[in-house]
Amino acid sequence: MVRAHVDEDVLCVPRTTIFPDGAWHGLVTRGLERVLRTVSAASEYRPRSEVEDDPSLQQIIPYCVVRHPHDDSYLITRRLRRSTERRLHHLYSLGIGGHVNPTDGGSGDPVVGGLKREWAEEIRCPSPATARLVAALNDDSSPVSRVHLGLVFLVEPTLGFVDVRETDKLEGEVLSLEAMRDRYLSMESWSQLVFDDLVNGATSRADRSPLVVELDAAL
């Protein structure tokens, strides 16, 4: 859930620190432990209004991709006009997520805290779920994507299907990867990258994840 910029401090890492050898494009699936260590050691909170258009700082975004393991279907959402992020209106997304705020680190890892908060705020899920970090995502192709670094989590509920909570801002569908192919050109760039990775077997990496988070049911 995105709060007004004036009220929100967000977790950031200097671009040169997270990309010491120059920025890569797309998904990185190896060295995720180093990415996590760097975020833990070098991150700071900055006012979102100051960093929203500053690519020298990467805003950290836990990005939850929901897979229903019993039928291999996924949640896909579309941002409606009332969504706060105007640059992404009417585009489809395979991920649910948002910025990490200072209160998210109150009881430990702020990335984990931010993931849990966003999940509870944005998703209705009838059962507990398990989130596994499977990739880090960087995309310099647009103004909104180049200032964010995604930490991509594959989230699998124990039972049932998930749905979006804020139906005035998002609409959701549950589809197989094959069924959502015709939406590919209308997806956000991050979601296109994630879709390609899922088609190429991202789920097979989940068991080797360096960060596993247990999520409560969100009713």
Q: How far apart are CA 120 and CA 73, in angstroms?
A: 21
Mean of the per-residue pLDDT values of the chain: 91
pLDDT at residue 145 in the model: 87
For 197, half-sphere exposure in the C-beta direction (CA atoms, 13 angstrom radius) is: 25
Instruction: Please write the tens of the pLDDT for every residue from 135-164.
Output: 999 999 888 889 999 999 999 999 999 999
pLDDT at residue 86 in the model: 52
Q: Which residue has the higher pLDDT, 141 or 119?
A: 119
3 state DSSP class of 28: strand
37 pLDDT above the threshold of 80 = yes
CA distances from 52 to 10, 57, 98, 103, 171 (A): 10, 9, 13, 20, 25
Q: Which residue has the higher pLDDT, 148 or 4?
A: 148
Domains present along the chain, CATH in parentheses: 5-215 (3.90.79.10)
**The total number of residues written for the chain in this structure:** 219
Instruction: Please write the tens of the pLDDT for every residue from 64-112.
Output: 999 999 999 999 999 886 545 454 457 899 999 899 999 998 778 999 9
pLDDT at residue 143 in the model: 82
- Give the other-Cβ count within 10 Å of 179's Cβ: 13
Secondary structure, 3-state, 101-168? CHHHHCCCCHHHHHHHHHHHHHEEECCCEEEEEEEEEECCCCCCCCCEEEEEEEEEECCCCCEECCCC
The least confident of 21-25, 171-175, 183-187 is 21-25
Mean local confidence (pLDDT), 128-139: 97
- Bridge partners of 137? 27, 150
What burial letters (b/e) apply to 23-38, b meaning 16+ CB within 10 Å? Answer: eeeebeeeebeebbeb
In one-letter notation, the amino acid at residue 179 is: A
pLDDT at residue 108 in the model: 86
Q: How far apart are CA 134 and CA 6, in angstroms?
A: 32
Query: Six-digit token pair at 73?
Result: 């279907």
Mean local confidence (pLDDT), 40-53: 95
Mean local confidence (pLDDT), 152-180: 94
Q: How far apart are CA 213 and CA 115, in angstroms?
A: 9
Mean local confidence (pLDDT), 199-206: 92
Mean local confidence (pLDDT), 9-29: 94
121 pLDDT above the threshold of 80 = yes
